[in-house]
Amino acid sequence: MLAKGEPMRPEIDKQKIREMLLGSDLLRTIPEHEFDAVARGLRQLRFPRGSMIFQKGGEGRSVMFLAAGRVKIVSVSPDGTEVIHNIIEVGEIFGEMALLDGKPRCADAIAAIDCEVVEFSRPNFLAILERNPGVGVEMMAILCDRIRQSTAFVEDAVLLDAGTRLLNRLRALADQYGRPDSDGKTLRIEHGLSQQEIGESVGLTRVSINRLLGRWRAEGLIEDGRGYIVIRDSAFLKGSGALG
């Protein structure tokens, strides 16, 4: 089914559509003459923090573009434990697998913070892909990247100790959010995630995350606070990480 967030008003104008498309690695390949077709097939929706955007098993009748906020793609065990498969940032799309194959959603999408989402209906989006093969090629690249991420997650969970898994996650966050200080050694990572969310993304409990971060903090390797981690020496990220 289509997402049930709160509709936004006023409707998006052509310039806003263009700005959004240019901000997406996938959608920026859509030519300008397609803007009218794109506008006819989308809705803008708001989702407050913690709300469900779509649910595992639901119909994949649309693909989502994240205009503002952050989205978690998760699976939930019968006891309520969450495992985060991916974190969607502004400018990225999600929900594309069910859109392409017509099968039910394979995971939940949850608003990690307040979100604004642009929803493209399946028929209109598939028609755009047919008319613009380059968009389809870009989507294949995105799917391949997410398959690699999922494969790496499974390998880490099975083969690596807790410390190495967390260190691998910090490396990924550093690549995405890290900003080096002027001294060239200190790296600040403004990831915006809770410790629980970081733990869920590597299959660890909050207690395990607290223990590891506390140990690294005591050793002077990191500083951390709500939504950020400072790596005191970037060489730490290059280590073996066998600290579990």
User: Can you read off the two tokens belonging to residue 45?
Assistant: 């929706």
Q: What is the pLDDT of residues 12-31, one digit of tens each?
A: 556 766 677 666 766 777 77
Distance, CA of 120 to CA of 135 (rounded, Å): 14
Q: What is the pLDDT of residues 185-230, one digit of tens each?
A: 789 998 888 888 888 888 888 888 999 999 999 999 999 988 899 9
For residue 4, what pLDDT band results from cuts at 50, 70 and 90?
A: low
User: Can you read off the two tokens belonging to residue 214?
Assistant: 């506390």
**Percent of residues, the chain, with pLDDT higher than 90:** 20
Kindly list the domain boundaries of the chain, sorted by start residue.
6-157, 161-238
Helix axes 206-218, 162-177, angle to 10 degrees: 80
Distance, CA of 206 to CA of 209 (rounded, Å): 5
User: Can you read off the two tokens belonging to residue 240?
Assistant: 């073996």
Q: What is the pLDDT of residues 99-110, one digit of tens each?
A: 777 788 989 999
Q: Are 5 and 117 in contact (CB under 8 A)?
A: yes
Which CATH number is correct for 161-238, 1.10.3720.10, 2.60.40.10, 1.20.1440.230, 1.10.10.10?
1.10.10.10
Judged against a pLDDT cut of 90, whether residue 48 lies above it is answered with yes
pTM of the model: 0.72
Q: What is the pLDDT of residues 145-170, one digit of tens each?
A: 878 877 777 777 667 888 888 998 89
Distance, CA of 198 to CA of 215 (rounded, Å): 16
Between 93 and 216, whose confidence is greater? Answer: 216
Distance, CA of 197 to CA of 211 (rounded, Å): 15
Its CATH architecture, for the domain 6-157, is Sandwich (2.60)
